[in-house]
Amino acid sequence: MDAIEALTTRRSCRSFKQEQIKNEELQTILACGLNAPSGKNKQSSKIVIVQNQEEIKELSKLNAIIFGKDVDPFYGAPTVCFIFVPKDESNGIKDGSLVIGAMQTGFYALNIGSCWINRCKEMFELEKGQQYLQKWHLEDYVGVGCCILGYVEKALPEKKILENRIIQG
């Protein structure tokens, strides 16, 4: 799949097989994310990969607390990546967002489903979230987003093309 096709056809996935993705695929995509552009080329984003199902369930519960619903915001994905940036980084949120975008496009090109899940910043502000930051030695970092991923269980829907989204001045 070429870059234009991946960028124009990628869809978010919320239904995953329980089969874990191959490590070489994950490493390829992490390289995509870590090579995303960043302000002043600081490359300060950090990615935490969680594949332990008990830990994913616990982290999903933290996200659900912020979401205010008794659901699994991670949709049973076998892998969750958390993207963090330094708290004092002026371009951090933008840089971390580019990391997630590059990873999602890379996953899609390898036929791996992914979805950006919000509330990452808030879940790691909770007491239990702070404990995870300490465990990962990221106390001075802030969450940008959660990226759930795995092999696609169901076919993804067609993308809606909305008119009037481009304005020429």
Which is more confidently placed, 161 or 76? 76
Tens digit of each residue's pLDDT (9 = 90 or more) over 33-78: 999 999 999 999 999 999 999 999 999 999 999 999 999 999 999 9
Residues 6+ apart with CB under 8 A from 98: 36, 37, 38
| Mean pLDDT in residue range 69-95 | 96
Q: Considering only CA atoms, which of 10, 113, 132 is closest in space to residue 60?
A: 132
103-127 pLDDT tens trace: 999 998 999 999 999 999 999 999 9
* Domain covering 3-151: architecture: 3-Layer(aba) Sandwich (3.40)
Q: Supply the pLDDT for residue 162.
A: 67
| Of the candidates 151, 156, 112, the residue with the CA atom closest to the CA atom of residue 11 | 156
Domain chopping of the chain, boundaries: 3-151
Q: Please tell me the pTM assigned to this model.
A: 0.91
63 vs 149: CA distance, rounded Å: 16
Whether pLDDT at 143 is above 90:
yes
Indicate whether 158 pLDDT > 90.
no
Mean of per-residue pLDDT scores for the chain: 92
Is the pLDDT at 85 greater than 90? The verdict is yes
Q: What is the DSSP letter of 142?
A: E
- For residue 99 the two structure tokens come to 């990391």
